[in-house]
Every structure is written in C-alpha cells, then in structure tokens.
Structure 1
C-alpha cells in the first residue's frame, strides 16, 4: 500500500512529526521537514552540516566531496589532468601546480549535460528500438515454432506411410514363414504316422511271439513266421531345413537416404556487425557418435566398500565430486566423501534434520546438494555448513540434479500422492515446471513409494527414471516429451525393467540402473538401446560418471561402489 504521507492524493507530511505539512527540506539528509521541526532536526545529528532550504528548492545545495588530505574540507575544485576533485588547501600545497583546473560545479554541469543527452538518447531512440527488435524476434519465434511443428508433422506422416509399407512387407514375410512351416509340419506328420503304424505292428509281433513261446503245441511252434528282419531297417531321419531371416543391416545408410534428410538451416544477423551460422546435421549423421566407442566387454576397475551404520543398512546413491573423490549416501542420515583410488573415507556430514537424504548431487562449484523428503527441503553444503535453499509446501522432494547452467532440477510428488512434477530452480526461485505432455496427460507416475531420479543430458534434455512407470522419461529443455524408454528384451534375467539411478556421459548416452535385472542399460540420446553393462553387478541402484566417462555404480545390499570402464 502507498504511504499516505507521500501519496499524490495527499499533501507531503513531515518526516519527523509525521503530521504537519512539509515546508522545508534538508539537502544533507534528504529529509522533508515542517518549519517547527527544523531546529530539532539540526540538533538531532550535530556532526553534519545540515543545509536546510525551502521544499521547492530541494536538492539545490551542492554536496561537495570531502578532502581526505585536509580534514574533510569540501572539494570545490577539479583537476582535469589528475581527474579528481580537490580542496582549496590542496591548491596552497601546490599539489596540482601547472595542471588544468576547473570548478567542481562547472565539471558537474558538463557531466550532467552529457548524462542527460545519453539518457535522452536511451529514452527516445535506443529503448524504443530495442522494444521493436524484441517484438520482431518474438514474432519470428512464434513463426519458427509453427514452421518447425509443420516440418515435424510432415516427417511423422512420411514415417507413418513407411510404417504401413513395412507392416505390409512384414505381414507378407510372416505369411511365407507360416506356409513353409505348414508344409514341413505336414511332411513330418506323415513320417510320424508311418512310424506309429510300425510301432503298433511291432507290438502285435511281440504278443504273437510270446504266445508261441509259452505253448506246448508243437505244430504252432513250427508254423510261426518271424518278421523281425523287416523292422531292423530303420526309417530315414527327416531333418527340416529352417528358413533364415537375413536383415539388411548394412544398408541402414541407404535406407536413411531413401527416407529423406533435412537440409541445413542457418541463423544470420543483419546490420549488427556479426554473423553466425549453424549447420543442422541430418538424422543419419547425428546417430553416429564420433570419439569414444562402447566396449564389447565393460570391466570393473576398482571397488570401494562403504561404511553405513544402521540396523538394516542400505546404500543408495553416488555422485562424483571429481575424478578422485565421490560422495555417497545410504539410510543412516550421513553423506560420506570417499577417495576413489585409496577407497578411504575423507569426510562425513550428517544431514541437518538427521533424516536419510533422498538424493544427492554436486554443483559446478563443488558444493554438495541433498534433498530431505521428510523435512521437505533442498539443502546445500558449503564449507561443511548446511544451508536450506528450498522448503516446499504440499510437495515432497525426491531426486535432484545440478544443471550445466547451475540451476537445480528437483522431482517431487504432491501430498495426496496424485501428482508428480519436475521444477527448475535458480537458487530458491522457481523458473520452470514440467508436469504434463502436449495432450495434458501426466508425464510421470504418482505415489510416495515410487523411486524417481533425475539428470540433465549434454543436449540439455531432462531425463527421469520412473520406477512406477517402469520407464525412463526424457523431455527437452522446454519440457516437451521426446521419448519414453521402457527396457529392451531380452534382459539379462528376463525380468521387467525396473529403473533406479540415472546418469549421462560425454557422448550423450543415458545410463540407467535396472534393479530387477542386475545390470545397467545404455541408450543413446534418442532412446535407442545400445548395450547392457553386467560385470557381475548385484542390486545396482545409484549411478554417476566422472569426466573420463568412468561409471560408478552403488550396490544396494553389499554396500559397495563399482568403478566400471565401458568406453574406450
């Protein structure tokens, strides 16, 4: 609410008595005064030289800077060579002898004139120009969004046409497989019928011979005819020749060219003295990552044993501080820093509430961040002191990660267990909420018992492992759904995909711990399955990678961290 003493709908009131109408003004203190309060104001602080003038003449008294050399004398002169104000005593001391001198007030007037001209240029020309430019850029962004949407729709439609043709081809090939199968089954069935007929005849022969063996009628014995030699020649063994499906894997590049490709796009500047060109790679080029390649057989480099002091100890989370140190967390309410090479405990920090942290992360500056779902807080540890950054109401924080822009991404669920969302924070300020897809449907599953972890990929995609949905949910920086990854069959133990910890690497691979199958899934930035990491893992949970793309896996029950090399 506006202060009634300074409102334009009321007269100005005295700053001291707060009742009388303002008549005077102290240029020294910038105080508004009535005539009766002038004396009281002056004696209230006798250390100052109060310049009291009529209110209409306020700010007319120049407040000279004081001289640091001569007992705070007012600096009424200005040396243009030294570019400093000075007092009259400085002239007498010949400090500026031979320099070009001017009165401070003259310099101030010149300075104010220059500032006024610059301010007027900003108000009259530059600011409106920038407003026009901003409006133009916003319109271009709206147009660009629509055009790219139309482009994506065209690609989708073309893909659907291809899918229909591929479905027809698949249906035709499967029909041919069924026809081959039926012909071979009929042949084998005929062969089986002949064998079964022989089996029946052999049983009859056996019964006939057993009857003769037991008889004392010699005429029957001499009259028997044995046909064993007929069955000594066994039937031919029929081996069906199975057809093979030979996919043309080597022609993916040819298929991509047949499907179509995007032309390069560019951003150019005009009349601003700079230019920028960006080349958009075609889909087939983007799918081939240069540099590091996945190893055929990942290997465990080292194993670190973690100490957890709890009645039933569990070990959940790891986060790299550097290539030599990792933060860890379990269910004993402490966060521990370990040396990777020595495996020794370097530091231990207990959460502010004593509760088990739901998740931990490390900022770009090396500070530790953790979520407390019982206390509903997100906290940061600086110099071993814990500061509360975010306190939620009606929501409970779970997973947290630090982004390349030093924001925090926090995944949380509502008190009624019906909603889940991702919120981006800059410090304690909420910047973005991600909760629904383009059709208004929830992106993430709900429920307090569901485990959720989050990370940011190198392309700024936001990746969430959602064990309630049995999926990795990936959205772009704007929060639009890119894809859901729900596992790849056959999994090592052939059990349903059960995602836990999630991380990314320098190649924009997304790595997710699969608790049910004792492995880690590796997918590319577009959700395509690449490989599994097994390495004898047991109940893998938390994941992180260091700057050299080594993978660290927290194993829940045996309380060990595995350092695994999976890229060459």
Structure 2
C-alpha cells in the first residue's frame, strides 16, 4: 500500500496479522484480536498474562521476576531487605517479622521522588545555569566594549605626542589586547565548563524522563538516581577587573614612558557567593570602571567640623553624616553640612573604641582592645560579633564583599596578623610573606581595602604594607623624600578612593601621602593639617581628616 496515495491502515493483530486489534497483553506487550487471545494465553503458560483492552494497554504493572523463584513475580517488597519478593519467598522464614509493602506502593514512592528531582532539575537547576551562562556572555560583551574604550583612550592620548612615543603606544595597546585575551579566554573556559554541566544536566533530565515514562518496574528499581546535589554547587562567579590607564604629562624625554601613562594590572576574581539558584547578582566590581579623575594641583579645604574631643578615627556613614571616635568611651555621629551632633553611642564595655568602620549595610562596627571583641551597632543596640582568644583586635574595615578585615596582635605583643571574617567565621589569615617573614609589626593600627581588592595596612613602624586579595605581598611604601617637615614617615589612618589611590595620614609631617595602587608616590596634601590621624572618603571622593590636636574633622577636595 502506497502511503502517499492511501489513508493510514488500522492496527492489525500481531498473531494473525489480519484482524483489527482489540486487546493487548501487558505482560508480553503484544496486540491481539479477540479470537487470538486464547491462543496467546496457552502459548506460554509459565507467564501470568495480563490481557486488557487495547485502550488500557500499559496500565498493568509489570512485576519483576523473583531472583530465587524464576516463574514467580514479586508483588510485595521487603522493606528491611530492600528487595522485591514473591509469594514463595514470603512463605519461607527468611522474611519472617520483616515489614512488607506492596511493590506498587514502593513504585509510587520512587516515582514520586524521581518526579520531584526531575522538577527541580527542570525548574530550578537548569534555568540557573542558563542564567549564569547568559551573565558570563554579557560580561564578555561588556568586557570587549570596555577594552575597546580603553584602547580608544590610549590612542587619543597618543595623538597628542610626538613620533618618538609611537612605539610606546603600540606596546601599551598590545598589553591591553593581551590582558583582554587572557580574561576572555578565562571567561570562555568558565563558560565552556558551565555549558558542559548544562549538557550533563540535560542528559540526566532525559534519563529521568525515560524512567518516568517506563512501566518496567525492574528498570525503575535498577535506575540509579543521580546525586543532583553536585549540580546545586553552582560555579563561582568570575569578576573581571579592567586595568586603568593613567595619563602623564611630558617634562623630559627620558621620562616619556612613565609620564605618558601606565596600565594597572587586570584581574579575574572568583566569588563563590556571586550566584544563587534561579538568580544572578551583579556586583559593583563587575560594573563599568569609574570615570578617570585627575588630582587637583592644589587640594582645598571645603569645611571644618568641630567635635570637642581628641579624634583618632572617622568613618562616613553616607555623604551627609560621619561617625567619629577618640579618647572618649562614646562614638559620635555628626552632620557634615551643619556640624551638629546627631547621635552618641557608648561602647558596651565602657572602654574606648580602638577603631571604627561602617559596613555595606550602614551599620557601625568597632573594636574593643581591652575586651578583645569586635562589635556591631544595629538600631542603637550593640551586638558582639567576634570574641578573640589570645589575640587582641586593633584596626577594622568592611570589605566590598561584606567581610570584615581585622588587624590582630597576640597577647604577648610578639605577633601581628590580618584576619578576614565572614560574620564570626574566620576565612583567611595573613601574617607572613613568601620567605616566612612577618608582614606587619605590632604598630600596625589602620586597615582599608582598595577598589582592586588589595588589602592596605598602615604600619606605624614606618610603612604602608599592601598585599593582594590572597595575601601575597605587592609592595611596601616607606615614605617619600622632601616631606613637609623632613621628619620620619609615621603612617596612621588609611583610606582609598575611586581611582584606587591609597591615602595615609602622616602625623609626624602633618600631611597626607597619596600613592597609586602600585605604590608610586603622587603628592602630599597639607591644607594646614595638625596631627592628622583618622581618614575616610565619601562617594564623591572627598577626603575627611580627623585632626587629633585640634579636635576637628576637615573635609578636603583633592580630585577634579
């Protein structure tokens, strides 16, 4: 019969191949006409043939054969032995006293579990990986655009220079391309791994669907359900960081390389908390680079705020309010524009706070040197976050990820380290360099995280110590020649700005040092400072300096 010229034929009996199908054997999976049912029943008397109407085919459970009694079917299930059993097995003593269930009931329970896991794969896990893949692809597109913008900026700056620097322009652009390719390759590898996992999940989904659709009980029992927990461990979030092009000014030809401009290092960081199921979160670090701001030729004091107490610390709550602390047992919140006292919080122990900081959630954090605790102020109530044993907390800062970095000194004052905490859980300890030598002295008091995630510590012994995110030493800054008072460098408060500049107070020389993220000195800020100690910046890159001797805070503009 030609299927192109004829209508579809009706289904015929599998035995006689002529009569129309009316019945079905669910045991043998054979279609039968009524006349052939009897012949089929006696064709193999060792089987229990389940004959149903054709419309009801595959509705009869196909009980598995007993492994001990070949001709028997297992309609019961021994819960203790975790195996299906037949009537003959039950008549023996081997399952005496065991809890027995109907095989159909066990089947329903297993199918229900498989159905739930299939739903989780379909509705939660696989869509999450789709979102992650889309997020990585978007980052790659944005990265290409921003690297393109970076190359354009370098080219534009190069047009203003003489032919002698053409080679330098090409060199810098080659570095940009190399950084771009490195980051894109890393992201592509990350994307390939995600796509591979998505493919594995899809295969698992197909396997689950096959089992769900099957009426072969033995196949279902043999089905080894995959442990989908491993798919719930979603991949870390890769955060690309672009290098920054810093322009220079021509003074002498031998300094062209330095003055033309340099590229900061690029990086790719992993954030294991960057994604959650069915959701992708974009962190501030993964967004566009901040606009380039140049240093003012002459920094200027915008306003001066009197506090009536000797100040050691300052921390901006926002662009309108600032927390301060000093030689008193209280921490005070002031209005920046009006200079008025808004709030005063007394420490829980009655001790002077050693250092203060503000978290991403705008809560006040302070360390208690005497009580060996780190505390948080929420809704004017103080909660103990960390209690140390055999160590004393000093400087503290809140990171972009929400962690706390705490400078700690041992009880015997012989060891100093920086510890990263997530809540009260210690995540990282930084104490020694690659040669096993201590990174910090016992005079290390102030700490800040830079935009590139470097950890910056001011060591009162005469250095700013900067390590990268994993704790590897990047550089030590030990001051610059021609300090305003020609006294030894004595770093105190430390902070950073949107350009990744590092600013540290030098109370010996009544000034603030500005260095770039690679430790190169840029300039001093003097502005009539007297014994500057605490430093902080707001979102507009205004610098706030706590002057201990004058009991006041100065707001200074130093960037264009």
TM-score, normalised by the number of residues in structure 1 = 0.55
Measured in 2, the distance between the counterparts of 1:329 and 1:560 equals 11
Q: Does 1:427 align with 2:423?
A: yes
Q: Which residue does the alignment assign to 2:268?
A: none
Tell me by how many angstroms 1:432 deviates.
0.4
Equivalent runs, 1:355-434 vs 2, <5 Å: 355-434=351-430
Measured in 1, the distance between the counterparts of 2:425 and 2:518 equals 31
**In angstroms, what is the RMSD of aligned CA positions?**
3.6
Measured in 1, the distance between the counterparts of 2:241 and 2:371 equals 48
Higher relative contact order (CA 8 A, sep 6+): 2
Equivalent runs, 1:12-411 vs 2, <5 Å: 57=99, 112-116=110-114, 261=175, 263=178, 264-265=181-182, 266=184, 267=186, 268=188, 269-270=191-192, 272-273=194-195, 281=243, 285-287=262-264, 291-308=292-309, 314-411=310-407
Give per-residue Cα distances to partners, 1:68-97, cap 9 Å, x unaligned. Answer: xxxxxxxxxxxxxxxxxxxxxxxxxxxxxx
Tell me by how many angstroms 1:116 deviates.
2.9
Give per-residue Cα distances to partners, 1:30-70, cap 9 Å, x unaligned. Answer: xxxxxxxxxxxxxxxxxxxxxxxx99549x89xxxxxxxxx
Tell me by how many angstroms 1:272 deviates.
4.0
Q: Which residue does the alignment assign to 1:465?
A: 458
Measured in 1, the distance between the counterparts of 2:238 and 2:397 equals 32
Measured in 2, the distance between the counterparts of 1:520 and 1:111 equals 71
Measured in 2, the distance between the counterparts of 1:445 and 1:368 equals 27
Give per-residue Cα distances to partners, 1:227-283, cap 9 Å, x unaligned. Answer: xxxxxxxxxxxxxxxxxxxxx999788568679847231220227459999696598
CA contact (8 A) 2:547 2:553 kept: yes
Q: Which residue does the alignment assign to 1:444?
A: 440
Measured in 2, the distance between the counterparts of 1:376 and 1:528 equals 36
Q: Does 1:484 align with 2:476?
A: yes
Measured in 2, the distance between the counterparts of 1:452 and 1:523 equals 19
Bigger proportion of residues as strand: 2
SS of residue matched to 1:418? coil
Distance 1:279 1:452, change over 3 A: closer
Measured in 2, the distance between the counterparts of 1:250 and 1:496 equals 43
CA contact (8 A) 1:519 1:537 kept: yes
CA contact (8 A) 1:376 1:395 kept: yes
Tell me by how many angstroms 1:501 deviates.
0.2
Tell me by how many angstroms 1:307 deviates.
2.6
Give per-residue Cα distances to partners, 1:261-314, cap 9 Å, x unaligned. Answer: 472312202274599996965985525995211100011111110133xxxxx2
Distance 1:404 1:282, change over 3 A: closer
Q: Which protein shows a greater Rg?
A: 1
CA contact (8 A) 2:357 2:397 kept: yes
Q: Which residue does the alignment assign to 1:199?
A: none
Q: Which residue does the alignment assign to 2:544?
A: 552
SS of residue matched to 2:414? coil
CA contact (8 A) 1:261 1:282 kept: no
Aligned equivalent of 1:535, options 527, 548, 551: 527
CA contact (8 A) 2:334 2:342 kept: yes
Tell me by how many angstroms 1:115 deviates.
2.2
CA contact (8 A) 2:241 2:452 kept: no
Distance 1:518 1:380, change over 3 A: same
CA contact (8 A) 1:513 1:521 kept: yes
SS of residue matched to 2:356? strand
Measured in 2, the distance between the counterparts of 1:252 and 1:436 equals 41
SS of residue matched to 1:270? helix
CA contact (8 A) 2:345 2:380 kept: yes
Tell me by how many angstroms 1:415 deviates.
1.1
Tell me by how many angstroms 1:557 deviates.
1.0
Measured in 2, the distance between the counterparts of 1:554 and 1:564 equals 11
Give per-residue Cα distances to partners, 1:401-422, cap 9 Å, x unaligned. Answer: 0001110000011111111000
Tell me by how many angstroms 1:496 deviates.
1.0
- Structure 2 stretches of 5 or more lacking a match? 1-95, 126-160, 199-236, 246-260, 266-289
Tell me by how many angstroms 1:442 deviates.
0.4
Tell me by how many angstroms 1:315 deviates.
1.3
Distance 1:253 1:428, change over 3 A: farther
Measured in 2, the distance between the counterparts of 1:414 and 1:401 equals 19
Tell me by how many angstroms 1:547 deviates.
0.4
Distance 1:55 1:512, change over 3 A: farther
Tell me by how many angstroms 1:452 deviates.
1.2
SS of residue matched to 2:475? strand
Tell me by how many angstroms 1:494 deviates.
1.1
Give per-residue Cα distances to partners, 1:317-360, cap 9 Å, x unaligned. Answer: 00000000000001111000000000000000010111110000
- Structure 1 stretches of 5 or more lacking a match? 1-53, 62-104, 128-247, 309-313
SS of residue matched to 2:301? strand
